[in-house]
Amino acid sequence: MNIREVTENNEKLILSKYATLSKDSMGREVNEEKCDLRTEFQRDRDRIIHSQAFRRLKHKTQVFIAPSGDHFRTRLTHTLEVSQIARSISRFLRLNEDLTEAIALSHDLGHTPFGHSGETVLNKLHPNGFKHYEQSVRVVKFVENRNGKTGLNLTFEVLDGIRNHSGKNTPKTLEAKVVKIADRIAYINHDIDDAIDAKVISLDDIPKNILDNLGYSNSDRINTLISDLVENSLDKDDINMSIKVYQDMMDLRAFMFKNVYQNPVVKSQEDRIKRIIEDLYFYFLEDIYRIPKSLLDHYDLDNTLKEDIICDYIASMTDTYIINFWKDLYIPRGWKG
């Protein structure tokens, strides 16, 4: 018996009957020989962490675009906070922590530069629309490269969790449901910190009844939400909170949308973001061969929408890269004599 098989046996003994066991994975689109050391979900996690798409998250916006301070969240730190919260919940519920972590680390790989503002622009430009969760699946299935091969070839369980982490979509595993609610717990709370640091809101602006119920600090609120979720989900076949705490969380989320995410100060860069992305989109649409050949070689150009290729390229860009790219194209440079 190798180490992987020992781990799989331990999962069966330790984890909840509602957990997704590694040995019961539905597998991958392309079959691979199993690893002697790692379970299938552990392999997925490792592939995600070592991907270029994961590393690029450090220079992609969470809420505040190109902040001057060192302590504002980026898409990468958000991802790590989601992973920490989701792993804690899964551990308390005796679910598969490796599957949870793999989904959490990859759920936002398809995010555009400039966060949801960039996503909104591409969604209007692409004839079939653009959703970051669908793009995240596209990244791990096709755009990302591993050992010279296209795609990370992740398990179907991880792909399901990525695809269904947002909106009204319902994931198939409890681990994916944990990530979905952990994402919400994470961004609501850490975005409060950033908004206060940016002087967009103060703690006194948040309705007192919400803070009285959930907590006045980031850590207290997260602890309240996790504790309630665990209490109401332990040894059950679904992931739920109590009605009261869930409503408090949703009221806090509504407050954040009204006072932070839609705040005119926070949205003040929208027109510039739109200009940059539109300019580049139509620049590449005019001549697809302006995209680097090394990237175009991945595509069957005769059977792939140009708009898909362009969105793949633009969505992969970081905030700093796309700004510099646009400047090189459209801002005059001084003459060197």
Confidence band for 68, pLDDT divided at 50, 70 and 90:
low
Confidence band for 267, pLDDT divided at 50, 70 and 90:
confident
The 10s digit of each residue's pLDDT in 312-321 is 999 999 999 9
Given a contact cutoff of 8 angstroms between Cβ atoms, the answer to whether 58 and 73 are in contact is no
Show the CA angle centred on residue 82, arms to residues 76 and 83, nearest 5°: 90
Q: Can you tell me the mean pLDDT for 217-236?
A: 97
The 10s digit of each residue's pLDDT in 86-135 is 999 999 999 999 999 999 999 999 999 999 999 999 999 999 999 999 99
Q: Can you tell me the mean pLDDT for 62-68?
A: 75
Confidence band for 65, pLDDT divided at 50, 70 and 90:
confident
pLDDT of residue 199: 93
Percent of the chain whose predicted confidence (pLDDT) is above 90: 88
pTM: 0.96
For residue 145, is pLDDT > 90?
no
Given a contact cutoff of 8 angstroms between Cβ atoms, the answer to whether 22 and 96 are in contact is yes
Q: Can you tell me the mean pLDDT for 209-228?
A: 97
For residue 337, is pLDDT > 80?
no
The 10s digit of each residue's pLDDT in 234-262 is 999 999 999 999 999 999 999 999 999 99
For residue 204, is pLDDT > 90?
yes
Confidence band for 325, pLDDT divided at 50, 70 and 90:
very high
Domains with residue ranges and CATH for the chain: 40-268 (1.10.3210.10), 270-330 (no CATH)
